[in-house]
Amino acid sequence: MNSTDFILAAGESVNPLMPNPWEILVTGVGFAVLLFIVIKVIAPKFEQAYEDRVTAIEGGLEKAEAAQKEAEETLAQYKAQLLEARTEANRIREEARSEGAQILEDLKTKATDEAARISEQAQRQIQAERTAALSSLRTDVGTLATELASKVVDEALKDDARAQRVVDQFLNDLEAQQNAGASN
Amino acid sequence: MFAFALPMASEEGGFIPPSVSDTHLPEIFPWAAEYGTGFGKQMLMIVLSIVLITWFFSAAIKNPKLVPGKMQYLAESGYAFVRNGIGRDIIGEKNFRPWIPLLFATFFFVLLNNLFGAIPFLQLPSFSHAGSAYAMAIIIYGTWIAVGLKNHGIRFFKLAVTPAGVSPVMLILLVPLEIISNFIVRPLTHSLRLMATMLAGHIIVMLAASGARHLIVIQDSLALNGVGVLVIAGSVAMYFLELLIMVLQAFVFTLLTAIYIQGAIEADAH
């Protein structure tokens, strides 16, 4: 049979809607086999790969988040510590300043006191020396004057009591005169 | 080249266009036996598609990497397209997981068998043969009813044919229509849409090839020979259109599968 006859013969009888039963069978069974393989092997593996990726990505994100959180906590801690240190430094500086002022004040007071004390002591010493000198002078002058007078006026004036009275009188006058001179 | 088995126009003159019977090649086993009596090219391609799908996706996911290689990325994209783009979007977040394998197998089974029609030497979309399309539609139809019965019991048949919120008077009209539409027309359209588009595409390829051959080889007129070259150029455009339709029909078939399953799961929701 030549090709034209074949085509014409077949063309008249073939209805495209009429199935070949063998093809139904092969397709049905074939698809069932494919579906079985997909259910048992392929789909689980793809799902697993997908899950693994999600887990890995989420795990990575969680890790990053944890690290971020830790870093933030550390930063906050450092900041708090820094603030604390600054406050502490300020406090210490303030303390040092007030302490310094205190020390200065103390030293000033002490110096003033010392100066006053020294000055007072000197005053007192001067006073004492003056008093001593005065009394010594008084005695010496009296004795010298008496001696001089006795030598001058001789025996007549050997009456001590009178002589002493005269001398005291003289000295008192002298002192009064001096005081008057000082008050001027 | 016997495998092509392009229709030979009559040498004597008239052009005989290719017909459906030209998609029915003689069997492989027994060799060259009449179509329909044994194991043929179309069945071989069905088996081939199963082997190829299994091989590709198993190999791609054999050692899954966190950062996928090219092959794994391609496979994962395909898987994710069906899983999320069809399964999750249509069936819904709550119920879609058990249906991923069915949708995945359906999509790539139909897709690859369609694409066989665009691959030289294979050059025959498996689903241009009605038997394969019927088989797939029967499987989905059976699944649809089984899911409905499992979720709603025998009440499913009532839910499937009575739209909610319709007055009883309208139901008298609507119920017969719904019965015809859901239980009779649905599996037919589901299978014939796929089969017809694939067959039409294949006939266009055959027509272009045989027509071009007739115009270039048989005709003596130079003008007609030139037209034959134009036919070849035009058939390239048709080839790409066919590619688009092959992918689109695989998508549509799987999308409808998902819609039917979703309808069975939530038969009481509408």
Mutate to test the interface with B, among A2, A25, A34 (most CBs of B within 10 A): A34
What number is the average pLDDT over the span A43-51?
Answer: 90
Query: In Å, how far are A118, B53, B81, B82, B111 from B75, measured between CA atoms?
Result: 108, 10, 10, 11, 14
Contacts of B41 (CB under 8 A, 6+ apart): B3, B25, B28, B124
Distance CA A160, CA A163 (A): 5
Q: What is the pLDDT of residue B82?
A: 94
Do A26 and B46 make contact, defined as CB atoms within 8 angstroms? Answer: yes
Query: What is the tens place of the pLDDT at every residue in A15-37?
Result: 888 888 888 999 999 999 999 99
Residue A4: the pLDDT is 46
Give B-chain residues touching A39 at CB under 8 angstroms. Answer: 101
Of B36, B53, B100, the CB nearest to A34: B53
Measured between alpha carbons, how far is B177 from B179 in angstroms, rounded to an integer?
Answer: 5
**Closest residue to A24, CB basis, from B7, B101, B131:** B131
Tell me whether residues B16 and A47 touch, CB distance under 8 A. no
Q: Which of A165, A149, A145 is nearest to A157 (CA)?
A: A149
A54: closest CA of chain B, how far (Å): 9
pLDDT tens sequence for chain B (270 residues): 333 444 444 444 577 778 777 777 778 777 877 777 778 888 999 999 999 999 999 999 888 888 888 999 999 999 999 999 999 999 999 989 999 999 999 999 999 999 999 898 888 899 999 999 999 999 999 999 999 999 999 999 988 888 888 888 888 888 999 999 999 999 999 999 999 999 999 888 888 888 888 888 888 888 888 888 888 888 888 899 999 999 999 999 999 999 999 999 988 875
| pLDDT given at position A148 | 74
Regarding an ipTM greater than 0.90, the answer is: no
Of these ranges, A5-19, A163-177, B37-51, the one predicted with the greatest mean pLDDT is B37-51
Instruction: Note if the bond before B30 is cis, omega within 30 degrees.
Output: yes
pLDDT surpassing 90 at residue A78: yes
- Would you state the pLDDT for residue A154? 66
Q: Between the CA of residue A122 and those of A108, A131, A134, A136, B157, what are the distances in Å?
A: 21, 14, 18, 20, 133
Q: What is the DSSP letter of A96?
A: H
What pLDDT, on a 0 to 100 scale, did the predictor assign at position A30? 94
Could you say which of B18, B106, B132 has the minimum Cβ distance to residue A23? B132
Collapsing DSSP states into helix, strand and coil, what is residue B34? Answer: coil
**Interface contact A23-B199, CB threshold 8 A:** no
Question: Which of A127-131, A148-152, B99-103 has the lowest average pLDDT?
Answer: A148-152
Query: CB–CB of A22 and B43 under 8 A?
Result: yes
Nearest CA in chain B to A38: B101
Chain B CB contacts of A48 under 8 Å are 64
Q: What is the mean pLDDT of residues A145-151?
A: 75
Q: Do B19 and A27 touch (CB under 8 A)?
A: no
